[in-house]
Amino acid sequence: MTNVYHDTAYRSDAIPALPSGGHPDMDKVFQRLPWGRCQNPIVPNTMAVQLAYAGLFKDESDTYDGFPWGESVFSVSKGFLSGLQGSLYILYMCAWLAFFISFLPLAVGIIGTIMYRPNIEGVIFLFDAYKYMYLIIAICYFGGKYGRLLLAHLTDKRQRANPTGLYRREGVVRIKERKSVFEAPFIEFDAYLIHTPSGRGGRYFNLVLQHRYSKHPLWMKGLVTDAMNQNDVYAYWDMVQQFMDVSGPLPDVPIFEPFRSRDPVTREWDERTDRDPFKWRKVTSDSWRTNHEQTHRNRLQNTNFHHPCILDARIQGRGLPMPDEPRGAMLA
């Protein structure tokens, strides 16, 4: 079983001593997130995508082609096309929100028509007043939804050729930059909670893995992008760590469920705990919203993500003394 994992695979219970390094400028501006104590909380805002992805794999014969998420690779989108897909998704969500918000002025218009112009002319006037607004909403909704799906289909081959992502069995991170690929062990990266203005008086939060000994960053966009709640990013970082940690099973979330039997440590864990292989795939979107969502939102809100960092304890200059630091003490 252990032959599946490389010697470089990340094991949270066997972290080697690491040389000093870091980015003090980033530490002054952004929050460096601690390693360890993964509590496997669900990120509720990602569950619609996760359940839809898991639903693509009906049985074991379907799991040969897990992309962008599988038992050994956690692919991370990069580049213009991925950004365009993200923009189309935001357009789709904004249109969906605008549709429900528009009910208020429409209700006012309907009441006004009934009270003051209860005839065919009033109905025509009401229709003319709102037709362009709903036409724009429809274009944004269907253009964003199906345009994103079409773009994903047309660019699938190109995105699969991009090696950017996290590799569980090898314990490495790969970042494609133009014609070259940067590779480094997972434990050489520091995780940061990056915040940017939302343009609406708030902030967007994202997870960035910054290589400690160089200037190579990996923006972990894709599953969690531009979160409005910091806890979403904290939980996402927990999930990423658990994915990479071969001393334990894969995170118990929908996107990894179809592939759990293909990871030796996870398969052994599931057999020992008698986990239902279709635990998440039996949950529909409606069932999630009705029976589970609020529970997990409350759990996420009440989870304490602030704890000592197990990795800092193994880095020179943080938890370990520098090689040239004197260890003796002056005796009286």
Nearest to 82 by CA among 211, 220, 241, 237: 220
**Per-residue pLDDT averaged across 313-322, rounded?**
92
Tell me the pLDDT of the chain averaged across its residues.
85
Half-sphere exposure of 73 (CA within 13 A, CB side): 14
User: What is the pLDDT, as a whole number, of residue 96?
Assistant: 76
**Per-residue pLDDT averaged across 257-280, rounded?**
95
135 and 127 Cβ atoms separated by less than 8 Å: no
For the stretch 54-112, pLDDT in tens is: 887 877 655 555 667 888 989 886 544 555 555 666 677 678 778 878 878 888 888 88
Q: Is 267 helix (H, G, I), strand (E, B) or coil?
A: helix
**Per-residue pLDDT averaged across 203-223, rounded?**
93
**Per-residue pLDDT averaged across 172-195, rounded?**
93
Around Cβ 309, how many Cβ atoms within 10 Å? 18
**Per-residue pLDDT averaged across 249-278, rounded?**
95
**Per-residue pLDDT averaged across 19-25, rounded?**
95
pTM of the full structure: 0.75
User: What is the pLDDT, as a whole number, of residue 87?
Assistant: 65
For the stretch 132-183, pLDDT in tens is: 888 888 888 888 777 766 765 555 555 556 789 999 999 999 998 888 899 9
**Which DSSP category does 185 fall into?**
E
Six token digits for residue 314 = 């193994």
**Per-residue pLDDT averaged across 246-257, rounded?**
94
Around Cβ 290, how many Cβ atoms within 10 Å? 10
**Per-residue pLDDT averaged across 273-279, rounded?**
95
64-68, 197-201, 247-251, 252-256: which range is least confident on average? 64-68
**Residue 197: pLDDT above 70?**
yes
Helix (H), strand (E) counts: the chain: 10, 8
